[in-house]
Structure 1
C-alpha cells in the first residue's frame, strides 16, 4: 500500500474575521496535494488563535510537513509566531514557507531557524514534490525540485525557477476544508454574499515595482471557459454567492482571450470587481463592452500610478497618463466605477511629483466624479527581490533615506515586523518621506475621501457622508488641504471606509 503524506497548511492572521476571504492560494495547494496525499487547512483570519489551532492540529494527527503562506506586512509577525511554536513543540516537523514574502525575500526567510524550506512562485507542483521527498530528503532529490530554496550542507541553495503553469485540478476547489465556506461570503457594495475568486494567474507586464511581476516573471495564464463556468456555478448555486470579487492579477488581458470568459460571466450575471489596465480597457470593441455590461462589471481597480509619462516609462508600466484620463471617461459611459490607484512621494522630485499627482487626481474627478481614488506611497522593490530576468536591466538611482544614506532593507523576518517596514510593505511610508510630506499626503487624502466618500462604504449612514462631503467642499474647491482638523474630528465619529486599508 502506497504511503500518502499528510500536510498541514496554515494561513496566518492578516485581517479581521469580517474581512476574511477564501484563502485561495491554500485551496489550490490543497487540491494539488490531495492528488497524492492528504491536506488540512487552518485559516487564521477565521480561527483567531492560529497558534493554538495549529498546535492542536499537530497533536491530533500525524503530519509530514507544515506549509505556511506568508505575505509581507502585517502577516509576517503571526507567521513567525506560528513557526516558532511549531519548532518548539514539534521540532522534527519540516516548516515550509510559501507566498509573496519568501518569493521576494528568499534569503531573508531562510535566515530564520524556524524556516526549513521556501517555495518561490507557484507551489502547486513544487510543494507536492517537496512533501514527497521529505520521506528521504537527500540533497540530490531536493536539488531537482524547481522553485525550491533550501538549507543544504553548503549553505542556502536556490534551485532553478519552475515553469509557470495553469493546471486545472479538474474539480471545484476543496472549500469544505474551511468548515462552512458560506462564512466567507461578505456583504459588499457588489451584493449581500460576495465571494472571492481567482480565474487567471499572473500578469504579462513587467512593472518594476510590482510583486506580481517579480513572482511570475511576466507570465500569465487564463482558465478555460468550462473551468470558469464550473467554478462560478458552484459559488452561485451551491454556496449562494450573488457577486464576485476577482483577485486576478490583471483580469483584462487580450480581448480575444477574454471574450469566452465574458460570455460565461454574462450568462451568470454576477456583479463583479476586478483589477484591470487602462490600455486594455481602451482597446475593447463595442461588442465586448456589451458583454462587459451584461456581465455586470461594477468596478475596475486600475493602476494609474503616476501622471508623469517619464515615471511610467521608468517603472515599465506600459501605459500613458492620457490613457488614464480616457479610461475614466470610458468607464463613466459604460456605468463602471474606475478605482484608480496612485503612487506618491517617489524618491526623486518627491514634493513636485506628489503635488502634480494631486492636480491630476482633481482632473480625473472633474472628468468622472464617480472615480474612486486610492493613494499609496511609492515603495519600490529592492533589486534582489525582482524576478531574475529583470535584475540589473536598468541602472537606477540608489534609494537614499533622509540623511542621504543608502536604504538598508531588513535581513531577517523579525526586522520586517518593525512598524516602519510593515508600513513600507503596505505602501504607507518610506525612509525618504519627511514629516511634512507625510502630513501633506494624509491631509490631502482626508479632504479627498470626505469630499467624495467611497461607494464601497455600506456602514456609514448617507446623511453622515453627505454632511462630511459638504463640510469638505470648500477645502477641496480652494485646495486648502492643510490641517483639516474639523474633518478629522468628524471622521472619528463617522469613520468612513478606507479602501486601501479595508479593501472591499
Structure 2
C-alpha cells in the first residue's frame, strides 16, 4: 500500500462560465512540487461547476492527507468557503489549508474561520510539502515551516516568511491532471486556441496598492530560456495552442534578462499578450523591439494608474505621466496595442483626481486611438495586508468613509463575501465614494467603451460595435457623459465586453 502523502488541490469557481476557464497555473506548479514526494489530484471549479459535489465524491473514492484550497479575494471567496465547509462537515478530521492571495493578504481573517486549519503565505511549493510531512508525524513540529500560519489553541502563530524561489521540476506542468487540457484553450483576440502561461514569477517593484508586492516582497525570478522553449513547445505542438496569454506579473523587466526569452518567443511566433511597465518598454533597444515584433506581441497591459506625479510617487509606482504619453506613441509605431489601466477616485482629492484622469485618458486616445483603457476605483490594501517591509518603512494613510469614520475591514471570510467588500476587492467601489461620483465614473466608462469598443470583444457583431460607436460620438466629443440612457439601453442588447470584468 502506498503511504506517501496525497493531497487534493481545489481551485474554487471564479469564472462566469466554463468556457472562460484558464489553466490553474498555481495549482499545476504546486501539484508538480507535491508529486516529487507524494501525489496530488486537482479539482478545478471553473470546469467542474458543481464544485462541492465533485469534491465530496472524489474524497469518498480516494484517500487524502489534506485538502489545499487556492483563494483570491473577490468572487472566489464565497465558493472557497462553501467547499471548505462541506469538507469540514463530511470529513471533520481532514486538514484544510488555504493558500494564494487572500490568505497571504488577510491571514488572520482566513484563520478566523473554523474550516481553515492552516494558511500558507506567498509561495507554497516548499511550504505545503513540508506541512504534509509534519502532519504525518505523531507530534507535528510546525514552527520551522517558512511561510506557514497556524492555530495554536486560541492564538495564531505566523512563522517567518519563506525565501523567494523558482522551481523547475524538469518537465512540463502536469496538465493531464485537468482531464483534457485542450478545453482550456480559448478563442480570443489573439487566436483560436489561446493558452495561459506564466514564465516569470513575482515583480521587483513595490507598489503599495498591489497584492503582488505583498505576495512576493519586491522579488522576481526569470526562467531559463530552455525551460520556456520546453513549455511553449508542449503548448504549441502537444496541445495545438496558437497564441499565449502571459500571466507574468510584469513580463518586461531588465532588457538583458529578457532577450533570451524573446529569442525563444520569436522562434515560436505565437501571438501574445502580457503585463508590462511603461518605463521598461521605453528602455528597449531597437534590436529587442525587432524580436518583440517577430514574436508577434499584440497587446501589452500597462499600469498607467494616474496622471498625477504626486500620486504615482505616493504609491511607489516608479513611473511618470510623461512616460505614459511616450509609451502609447511607441506602441503605435511598433504595432502593439497598449491596454492602460487607471485608478480613479483616490481617498484624497477624490473628484479632482478623477476628472483629471478622464482628461488624461482623452489625450492618450488622441495620441493613439487604438489605446485600450481599463478604469478601476482605487482601493488600497489594508495596512496589515501589505508586505511587512512596506508596513515598516511607509505606514498607510488611515482610510475614512463618507462620514469621516475609520474604515473597518472584514474580520472573517464571510464578511468579505458581502457585495460592498467584493466590489472593494475588485476595485469597483469604495466607502468614500459619493453616489454622484460613482454615477459619474459609470457614465464616463459607458461613453468611453461605446465610443471605442475593445478589440478583445469577439462576441459582439461588428455592425453593433459600429452603431454604438456612432451613438456615443457626440457625447464623447462634447464631454456629455451624464446619464447616457440610450447607451445603457443599447448595451443591454449588445452587451459589449468589459475588459475590467472579463479580460482576455
Relative to the length of structure 1, the TM-score reads 0.99
Alpha-carbon contact 1:200-1:248 (below 8 Å) kept: yes
Provide the residue aligned with 2:196 in structure 1: 196
Counterparts of 2:347 and 2:221, CA distance in 1:
34
**Do structure 1's residue 121 and structure 2's residue 122 form an aligned pair?**
yes
- Residue 173 of structure 1 deviates from its aligned partner by 0.2
Alpha-carbon contact 1:4-1:36 (below 8 Å) kept: yes
Provide the residue aligned with 1:94 in structure 2: 95
- Residue 392 of structure 1 deviates from its aligned partner by 3.6
**Matching of residues 63-142 of structure 1 within 5 Å:** 63-136=64-137, 138=139, 141-142=141-142
Provide the residue aligned with 1:35 in structure 2: 36
Counterparts of 1:137 and 1:146, CA distance in 2:
21
Provide the residue aligned with 1:48 in structure 2: 49
Counterparts of 1:31 and 1:232, CA distance in 2:
17
**Matching of residues 249-398 of structure 1 within 5 Å:** 249-398=249-398
Provide the residue aligned with 2:207 in structure 1: 207
Counterparts of 2:41 and 2:105, CA distance in 1:
26
- Residue 442 of structure 1 deviates from its aligned partner by 0.2
Counterparts of 1:398 and 1:120, CA distance in 2:
25
Q: Which secondary structure state, in structure 1, belongs to the residue aligned with residue 206 of structure 2?
A: coil
Alpha-carbon contact 1:282-1:330 (below 8 Å) kept: yes
- Residue 203 of structure 1 deviates from its aligned partner by 0.2
**Do structure 1's residue 464 and structure 2's residue 464 form an aligned pair?**
yes
Provide the residue aligned with 2:153 in structure 1: 153
Provide the residue aligned with 2:486 in structure 1: 486
Deviation by residue 1:253-293 (Cα, 9 ceiling, x = unmatched):
10000000000000000000000000000000000000000
Q: Which blocks of at least 5 consecutive residues in structure 2 are unaligned?
A: none
- Residue 309 of structure 1 deviates from its aligned partner by 0.2
Alpha-carbon contact 2:383-2:395 (below 8 Å) kept: no
**Matching of residues 421-460 of structure 1 within 5 Å:** 421-460=421-460
Say which is worse superposed, 28-37 or 388-397, in terms of deviation.
388-397
- Residue 149 of structure 1 deviates from its aligned partner by 0.2
Counterparts of 1:185 and 1:320, CA distance in 2:
37
**Do structure 1's residue 164 and structure 2's residue 154 form an aligned pair?**
no
Alpha-carbon contact 2:30-2:125 (below 8 Å) kept: yes
Counterparts of 2:286 and 2:470, CA distance in 1:
38
Deviation by residue 1:315-372 (Cα, 9 ceiling, x = unmatched):
0000000000100000000000000000000000000000000000000000000000
Counterparts of 1:151 and 1:170, CA distance in 2:
35
Aligned residues: 503
Alpha-carbon contact 1:440-1:482 (below 8 Å) kept: yes
Q: Which secondary structure state, in structure 1, belongs to the residue aligned with residue 454 of structure 2?
A: coil
Counterparts of 1:210 and 1:422, CA distance in 2:
16
Counterparts of 1:159 and 1:175, CA distance in 2:
32
- Residue 18 of structure 1 deviates from its aligned partner by 1.4
Counterparts of 2:212 and 2:265, CA distance in 1:
25
Counterparts of 2:327 and 2:436, CA distance in 1:
33
Provide the residue aligned with 1:20 in structure 2: 21
Alpha-carbon contact 2:383-2:396 (below 8 Å) kept: no
Counterparts of 1:326 and 1:23, CA distance in 2:
35
Alpha-carbon contact 1:383-1:392 (below 8 Å) kept: no
Counterparts of 2:349 and 2:410, CA distance in 1:
25
Q: Which secondary structure state, in structure 2, belongs to the residue aligned with residue 138 of structure 1?
A: coil
- Residue 38 of structure 1 deviates from its aligned partner by 0.6
- Residue 12 of structure 1 deviates from its aligned partner by 0.4
Deviation by residue 1:402-428 (Cα, 9 ceiling, x = unmatched):
110000000000000000000000000
Counterparts of 1:341 and 1:41, CA distance in 2:
33
Q: Which secondary structure state, in structure 2, belongs to the residue aligned with residue 397 of structure 1?
A: coil
Q: Which secondary structure state, in structure 2, belongs to the residue aligned with residue 459 of structure 1?
A: coil
Provide the residue aligned with 2:415 in structure 1: 415
* Root mean square deviation of aligned Cα: 0.9
Alpha-carbon contact 2:75-2:422 (below 8 Å) kept: yes
- Residue 396 of structure 1 deviates from its aligned partner by 4.1
Provide the residue aligned with 2:63 in structure 1: 62
Alpha-carbon contact 1:278-1:324 (below 8 Å) kept: yes
Q: Which secondary structure state, in structure 2, belongs to the residue aligned with residue 467 of structure 1?
A: helix
Relative to the length of structure 2, the TM-score reads 0.99
- Residue 394 of structure 1 deviates from its aligned partner by 2.2
- Residue 136 of structure 1 deviates from its aligned partner by 1.9
- Residue 183 of structure 1 deviates from its aligned partner by 0.1
- Residue 198 of structure 1 deviates from its aligned partner by 0.3
- Residue 167 of structure 1 deviates from its aligned partner by 1.6
Say which is worse superposed, 391-400 or 67-76, in terms of deviation.
391-400
